[in-house]
Amino acid sequence: MERAFGDVGLAPPPRAIIRRQVGLSLAEVIRSLLPDADGALHERLVAQYRAAFFELRSAGTIGAEPLYPGIAKLLETLTTQGWQLGVATGKSDRGLAHILAHHGIARHFVTLQTADRHPSKPHPAMIEAALVEAGAAAQDAVMIGDTSFDMAMAVSAGVRAIGVGWGYHPNDELVAAGAIAVAEDVGELSAMLA
């Protein structure tokens, strides 16, 4: 993001402000960071971000995004227990596919919803599509997320929301946005799902 801003001759916002936007679609992040700019500048920044990200990933400058400790095992456990898992992310289809393949976890998910095909969070479209693809009812589903955008999306879609305290939004914001509980680690999350 800092490089994209620099490429168009703008000073980037502070990193803490940028990180608070994690979870939104790229276009929504840009609009949020520059609410008074025109659409042409927004589109230019989106293009610059994508180009910079592709270049940095291709050069090996951006490492693989790690899974939080215990997540791979939890996915395996939930799959074995018969849970139908899905992803609702502000990432692109290509970005999500890269991460799932890198970690070898794609097999755990029956539905993948990205910002390429839906409005940005907190709009409920991603969860609604995931429910349809999984053949699940909202009252039987739970959204697990680390941002207030995730929690608000869950509330809008009529599903329970569980926050995790290892993202960029503090626990009180997760609860204010609709989380019924916030797990501090994977063990707590697992217990909440039991």
* pLDDT tens digit sequence for 32-52: 999 999 999 999 999 999 999
Task: Look at residues 162, 143, 145, 130 and name the one whose alpha carbon lies nearest to residue 68.
Answer: 145
- Compute the Cα dihedral for 17, 22, 26, 28 and give only its sign: negative
pLDDT at residue 141 in the model: 98
pLDDT at residue 85 in the model: 98
Q: Which helix (H) or strand (E) holds 20?
A: none
pLDDT at residue 58 in the model: 85
Place of tokens 């289809």: 93
pLDDT at residue 32 in the model: 95
Task: Look at residues 102, 108, 103, 109 and name the one whose alpha carbon lies nearest to residue 126.
Answer: 109
Q: Which residues of the chain have pLDDT under 70?
A: none
Phi, psi of 126, rounded to the nearest 5 degrees? -65, -45
Three-class DSSP category at 130: helix
| Cβ atoms < 10 Å from Cβ of 55 | 12
Q: How many whole angstroms separate alpha carbon 1 and alpha carbon 3? A: 5
pLDDT at residue 28 in the model: 94
pLDDT at residue 57 in the model: 81
Which residues does 3 contact at the CB level (< 8 Å), separation at least 6?
48, 49, 52, 56
What contacts 24+ positions apart, CB below 8 Å, involve 48-51? 48/3, 48/4, 48/7, 48/8, 49/1, 49/3, 49/4, 50/26
pLDDT at residue 56 in the model: 87
